[in-house]
Amino acid sequence: MATFASENVFKGILTSLPKPGGGEYGRFYSLPALNDPRIENQDPLSKPDMPSGVGATLAPREKRLPYSISILLESAIRNCDNFKVTQKDVENIIDWENTSENQTEIPFMPARVLLQDATGVPVLVDLASMRDAVKKLGGDPNKISPLIPGELVIDHSVQVDVARSEDAVQANIEFEFQRNKERFGFLKWGSSAFDNVLVVPPGSGIVHQVNLEYLGRVVFNTGGILYPDSVVGTDSHTPMIDGLGIAGWGVGGIEAEAAMLGQPMSMILPCVVGFKLFGKLNDGVTATDLVLTVTQMLRKHGVVGKFIEFYGEGVGELSLPDRATIANMCPEYGATMAFFPVDDVTLEYLRLTGRCEETVSMIKSYLYANRLFNDYKEVHHERVYTSYLQLDLVDIEPCVSGPKRPHDRVRLKDMKADWHACLHNKVGFKGYEISKGEKDKVVKFSFQGHPIDLKHGSVVIAAITSCTNTSNPSVMLGAGLVAKKACELGLEVKPWIKTSLAPGSRVVTEYFIQSGLQKYLNKLGFHTVGYGCTTCIGNSGELDKSVASAISENDIIAASVLSGNRNFEGRVHPLTRANYLASPPLVVAYALAGTVDIDFYEEPIGKGKNGINVYLKDIWPSNEEVLETRQAYVLPEMFKSIYEAITKGNPMWDKLSVPSSTLYSWDPNSTYIHEPPYFKNMTMEQPGLRKIKDCYCLLMFGDGITTDHISPPGSIHKDSPAAKYLIEHGVDHKDFNSYGSRRGNDQVMVRGTFANIRLTNKLLNGEVGPKTVHIPTGEKLTVYDAAMRYKEANQDTIILAGADYGTGSSRDWAAKGPLLLGVKAVIAKSFERIHRSNLVGMGIVPLCFKPGDDAETLQLTGHERFTVDLPENINDIEPSQNVNVATDTGKYFTCKLCLDTKVELAYIDHGGILPYVIRNLIKR
């Protein structure tokens, strides 16, 4: 491996780490041995051989590098071979305070890559297809195999179609295997066909929580070399691991593939926001309330593409799961990473989750010796940050976020007034524009003999769903205690509300059962339905037909309340137009109330035994109650027993029969796994920059277009092009499955691109739906049909968009789909970080309007034809340079070319990152 190349120019600072009882843990690249005041001074005072020009001539200073930047520095030093990583790269990172202001490019080589199954399948499809391409080009196909340690494909897909059922878990798992046998078989094939791939079988847990509780190492020991754990993952919530002091963030599947194949990740040295916490949370306030407040603050501050590093005495007051809850929502406030340096709280969590004492001792010894351990008992050198925020934890109040965005926080005491304002406001993120005469509309009907009054704000989905909160025993046990108190007082959840519980791992079920709280959750309808992505990603299952009809036929703004992290319009369920994020205890409370149109401080949740009014305060547990329950029932033995068997699979997984060949045998009739067209007719000659000339506008958007709009993750609509394709291939509607499950088939996914039913395309003058105007004819067509019409006529297309284009999950098909539709460029006011990278990775050129400009101010109608003035020779282009755009109507405007690095220019020159990797592997 190149990771520990003998020619490393920093070999002189390799230092032995002794064990307390004699012997050594191994050797490590010592940051103190650099003797650089920007890090820490040498201790002891020996001076090892150093590369010239590093550290020796600098004046002392009091402030040190952020911990998170020190992680990048250690990786660069350890991998410095003056080829992939150069001595100049190391110096740029050491001089972070100055170089971070200059868009400085650095390489980063993570310790591991983490794949969830929804992204793992298309990644393995691409790798299998790349092997075929390499063979056709005369190279060795086995070179296409992961090269770095710890590649992980986590399979956790669960479609929740069973609610209020004691056997919901088993029924869902059996249903998943029935639907996805081919997909699971492909994953199992990949675990043996490719080196260094571990597959965690279905039903084990959600990727983030398994990573936190089991996979995260904090410190690696590989071949006697110690180094910090770091991870990039194909799910945008990979930063949850930052709460454990492991540097991790989300990347696109395309970028992950390159990292797996030994390519350094090229990134801009980030700014770091120092976020100081002090004080302590009040009684009754949850980690969810904290994270929703932090999300709002950081969105307002502006942290896209930045690292966040938390510090201050308040951090020591937060449990590790509380920290992980904050880090998990990193994509919702737009940062790359939200880092909590390792301290004694981290070590206690490692012990709790079953890591052995010797491992914990090694971790502390290494981090302490390398100045990466944060000991609150010691006097600290101040860390220098790009900007600063602070928050007194005592100021946090109970809250929710919604109804359409995770950073639209609403204090619980203001919720009723805010809901009424949303009904009245103009259509937007905080408005539905309901007339006064319609605000109090009531729809009456019968559900299984029960009379229903359905109103605006009626809750029809209440989900304690995986991801943000289910790693956190305090809020989970809080939900169980709310359920217990509610049952004891005689409260019930209305039977037409679809309730569900999807823990992030089986450990949660274990402590719910041992504490006796699961039976109360079951009684209220919160049965465990599976372990994985559920309601938060749109896997809500269908509502009862009577409820669905009442909502759609009467234009009712129904509500969902969930403990996840995403509530974009159309994501949770097509029929819930109002979606609120809340803590697990509040999810139970809203399910009991049956409406979001309630003031929990003044109005009763319902009537209990003997008709007595029951208020939220009557069922809300104290922090002391939650702590006592957690200490009694969340135990290390649970984690050990659950995770000892995690890789052993289950009977259904073990029965899957897969071929042993290293090349995959593509089935042309498969609707799940299909060889993609990216490498057809590929040659060793790079194509160069493709002309962006006389392009039509395929779609024209405003602000806030998410990856959910571009590549929907949920169900396949019966009238969509994807549905038509599946029917033509003999698939019944009941077997359509979801877009997420069919991500290994480009024929389905390209037809699902821009298929979100809530898509608002300005070419349609405000009409909502997955359609567009075919400019040459003026016909209104589905986006797919219009794109194919353009492609048949050899006419390229672009997309016009507003701010924050591509926010949301790091979905590679949000870039792959537009490429296959014929999109050559996207011109937007701004891009979400991962999506911009994915566009570049697929060879689509991202362009930003200049500040103050957008389609509206430039009076663009979208009916023009667009030409981007790019030089033909890639060597004549600089990252982030200005380029001119002209239209056939005589308009000219300037955009910024959103290619951040020379490496990204090379990707565009090769037609994408995957062809770039293939050509470079064959040339070796």
- What's the whole-number mean pLDDT along residues 60-73? 84
> pLDDT grade, residue 163 (50/70/90)?
very low
Question: pLDDT tens-digit profile of 767-798?
Answer: 899 999 999 999 999 999 999 999 999 999 99
pLDDT-derived band at 62 (thresholds 50, 70, 90) equals low
Its sign, for the CA torsion 118, 124, 129, 133, is positive
pLDDT at 855 over 90: yes
Instruction: Grade residue 558 by pLDDT with cuts at 50, 70 and 90.
Output: very high
**CA distance linking residue 619 with residue 606, whole number of Å:** 12
CATH topology assigned to domain 399-619? Aconitase; domain 3 (3.30.499)
* The two structure tokens encoding residue 784: 């797919």
Q: What is the mean pLDDT of residues 253-257?
A: 84
Three-class secondary structure of residue 781 per DSSP: strand
* Residue 339 pLDDT: 98
Which pLDDT score, from 0 to 100, does residue 139 have? 92
pLDDT at 521 (0 to 100): 97
Tell me the C-alpha to C-alpha distance, in Å, between residue 568 and each of 173, 537, 771, 856, 888: 27, 10, 20, 24, 36
Q: Taking residues 357-369, report their average pLDDT.
A: 96
Q: Kindly report which listed range (367-371, 436-440, 551-555, 769-773) carries the lowest average pLDDT score.
A: 436-440
pLDDT of residue 376: 73
* CA angle 62–63–66, rounded 5-degree value: 155
Same fold, 399-619 and 692-923: no
Res 594: pLDDT: 97
Q: Are 465 and 457 in contact (CB under 8 A)?
A: no
- Tell me the C-alpha distance between 405 and 416, whole Å: 18
What pLDDT digit, counting tens, does each position of 4-26 carry?
444 788 999 999 999 988 999 99
pLDDT, residue 216, reads 93
Mean pLDDT of all residues in 484-502: 95
Average pLDDT, the chain: 89
pLDDT of residue 83: 76
How large is the C-alpha radius of gyration of the chain? 27
Mean pLDDT, residues 865-875: 91
| Average pLDDT rounded to a whole number, residues 305-324 | 95
Buried residues in 501-512 as b, exposed as e (16+ CB within 10 A): bbbbbbbbbbbb
What values do phi and psi take at 628, rounded to 5?
A: -60, -40
Exposure of 65 in the CB half-sphere (CA atoms within 13 A): 30
Contacts of residue 14, defined as CB under 8 A and 6 or more positions apart, other chains included, come to 27, 28, 29, 30
Mean pLDDT (whole number) for 434-456: 91
Structure confidence at residue 636 (pLDDT): 95
User: In the prediction, which pLDDT does 369 show?
Assistant: 96
Q: Please say if the pLDDT value at position 90 is more than 80.
A: yes
- Which pLDDT value is given to residue 259? 87
Both tokens assigned to 488: 């004891």
pLDDT at 154: 57
Q: Which helix (H) or strand (E) holds 361?
A: helix 357-369
Q: Which pLDDT score is estimated for 170?
A: 76
Range from 160-174, 362-376, 547-561 carrying the lowest mean pLDDT: 160-174
Is the pLDDT at 2 greater than 80? The verdict is no
Confidence check: pLDDT of 159 > 70:
no
Give residue-wise pLDDT tens across range 595-614: 999 999 999 999 999 899 99
pLDDT at 379: 61
Q: How far is the C-alpha of 267 from the C-alpha of 900, rounded, in Å?
A: 8
Containing 346, the helix (H) or strand (E) segment is: helix 344-352
pLDDT band at 471 (very low <50, low <70, confident <90, very high): confident
Distances in whole angstroms, Cα of residue 292 to Cα of each of 215, 313, 429, 468, 522: 27, 20, 17, 11, 28
Give the pLDDT band (50/70/90) at residue 1. very low
At residue 165, the pLDDT reads: 53
- pLDDT for 629 beyond 60: yes
Higher pLDDT, 195 or 394: 394
Q: Which two tokens stand for residue 622?
A: 């104290």
376 or 620: which leads in pLDDT: 620
When pLDDT is averaged across residues 257-273 and rounded to a whole number, the result is: 88
Question: Cα dihedral sign for 582, 586, 588, 594?
Answer: negative
* SS3 labels along 429-442: CCECCCCHHHCCCE
Nearest CA to 595 out of 425, 423, 816 is that of 423
Out of 42-56, 211-225, 422-436, pick the least confident: 42-56
Mean pLDDT of 38-59: 48
Characterize 59-70 residue by residue with b for buried, 16 or more Cβ atoms within 10 angstroms of its Cβ, and e for exposed. Answer: eeeeebbbbbbb
What's the pLDDT score for residue 380? 62
pLDDT band per the 50, 70, 90 thresholds, residue 809: confident
Which residues touch 581 (CB under 8 Å, ≥6 apart)? Answer: 288, 292, 400, 401, 402, 406, 562, 563, 564, 565, 567
| Residue among 707, 722, 461 at smallest CA distance from 596 | 461
CATH of 692-923, one of 1.20.210.10, 3.30.1370.100, 3.30.2290.10, 3.20.19.10: 3.20.19.10
DSSP string computed for 489-558? HT----TTSEEEE--SBHHHHHHHHHHT-HHHHHHTT--B--SSB-GGGT---PPPHHHHHHHHHHT--E
* Range 627-652 average pLDDT: 87
Q: For residues 534 and 703, which has the higher predicted lDDT (pLDDT)?
A: 703
Distance separating alpha carbons of residues 305 and 302, to the nearest angstrom:
9
Confidence tier at 149 by pLDDT (50, 70, 90): low
Q: How far apart are CA 357 and CA 783, in angstroms?
A: 57
Question: Dihedrals φ, ψ of 613, to 5°?
Answer: -65, 135
Q: Where are the domains of the chain?
A: 399-619, 692-923
**25/562 Cα distance (integer angstroms):** 45
Q: What is the mean pLDDT of residues 148-161?
A: 52
